Amino acid sequence: MFGVNQSLLRFWENEFDIIQPRKNRKGDRHFRPVDIKNLELIYDLLRRRKLTIEGAKDFLKKSSRAKEHFEMIQSLQSLKGFLLEIKAAL
């Protein structure tokens, strides 16, 4: 989904408290929808905005509305994609 290694996801899980996937007895991780949204937020901060791990942690601590802001940006991007599809169809 993110195009990153499993080891990187495990590293992010250790570094960021907001990612808490459920684990079965075997140790397999089951990511809930909230975990996926948090991973998208972390991916955006680290890969697209090019923040460091510490910078991303500080951003999440300082900005209590970071998740809401990120979700709004994603919904606007999907709306933009939809409108561009409509424009191309005309």
Q: Is residue 42 part of a domain?
A: yes
| Contact between 10 and 42 (Cβ < 8 Å) | no
Domain total in the chain: 1
Contacts of 24 (CB under 8 A, 6+ apart): 30
Q: Is residue 70 part of a domain?
A: no
pTM here?
0.67
Query: Which residue range(s) make up the domain with 39?
Result: 6-63
Q: Is residue 41 part of a domain?
A: yes
Instruction: Please provide the average confidence, as pLDDT, over all residues in the chain.
Output: 88
Residue ranges of the chain with pLDDT lower than 70?
64, 67
Ordered alpha helix ranges (H), the chain: 6-15, 33-43, 53-62, 66-89
